[in-house]
Amino acid sequence: MAQGAVHHPHHETSVWPFPIGIGTLLLPIAFTLFFHYGMQMPGLVLGGVGLVLILVGAAGWASEHFQVEKDMGYGWLGILTFILSEIVIFGTLFAFFWTARTAHADKWHEWVPEGISLGMAGFLTLILWASSFTIFKAELALEEEGDNGKALTWTFLTFLLGGLFVVLHMREWMHLWHEGFTLSANAYGTGFYALTGLHTSHVLVGLISQIYVMWLLVTGKMNKDKPTMMAAVSAYWHFVDVMWMLVAGTAYLVGSTAI
């Protein structure tokens, strides 16, 4: 009887999560030593070792992934699970904002700064909509055409649009902050910066991921047969764009309504 295809278990097993786990364990211990017990040197050493272990483990794990001939197709499950967990995080801040908006409805109008601009929120929305289109084109170029160069161009355009979003958003924060609308000014300020800050942190994660994707495209480590990373980064970026509409609708539209 003919033998079946040999199964290679290295797709399911890896040693690299071990250093990542050890590094993750060392970080809270380092923080405890440094801040609670005042043991600064041991805390710094443990923190440094922890970060190195995490970086080495992540690099090794990523390198191992690109040694296989073809993606196994499990990427969507991972990114979907991650996005669901992120929705929970955003949900807690939305709940806080709406609760504060209701509880302080009688004096909320006093907290709305003159400098807050619905026009800026709309412009930022257009930028992210455009970036959703460009990352979609990048994914299409890789998965359908197998064209790394075209995928790289569209990814770079996405990166530029995301970078423009961050720069304009931070300039707006500075303007509002100088106006006196700070994080601790009132409940609106706290909710506004918490929501927009959390979202911007996700934009930055997306930009870092895009840099990694561009490196993979340039080096040829990612191609038509290995599109999982591109698909994951694209899905994450679409999530960030959709979440912005909820953030903008809450922090700007609902927040600035003086009723």
State the amino acid at position 154 in one-letter form. Answer: W
According to the model, what pLDDT value does residue 7 have?
Answer: 43
The token pair that represents 193 in the structure block: 């910066």
Please choose, from the candidates 128, 102, 95, 92, the residue with its C-alpha nearest in 3D space to the C-alpha of residue 257. 102
- How far apart CA 196 and CA 205 sit, in angstroms, is 14
State the burial class of residue 149 (Cβ atoms within 10 Å of its Cβ: 0-12, 13-18, 19+). exposed
Q: Tens place of pLDDT for every residue, the chain, 259 residues?
A: 444 444 444 445 678 888 888 988 998 898 888 888 888 888 899 989 998 998 888 777 777 766 665 665 556 677 788 888 889 889 999 999 999 888 888 888 888 888 888 899 999 999 999 999 999 999 999 988 888 999 999 999 999 999 999 999 999 999 999 988 888 888 899 999 999 999 999 999 899 889 989 998 998 888 888 788 888 899 999 999 999 999 999 999 888 776 6
Domains annotated on the chain, with CATH: 9-65 (no CATH), 75-256 (1.20.120.80)
Q: How many residues does the chain have?
A: 259
- DSSP code for 108: G
- How far apart CA 178 and CA 54 sit, in angstroms, is 39
* Overall pTM surpassing 0.95 (yes/no): no
Q: Could you give phi then psi for residue 229, rounded to 5 degrees?
A: -65, -40
According to the model, what pLDDT value does residue 37 have?
Answer: 84
According to the model, what pLDDT value does residue 12 have?
Answer: 53
According to the model, what pLDDT value does residue 71 have?
Answer: 60
Q: How many CA atoms lie within 13 A of 45 on its CB side?
A: 4
Can you tell me which residue has the tokens 């910066």? 193
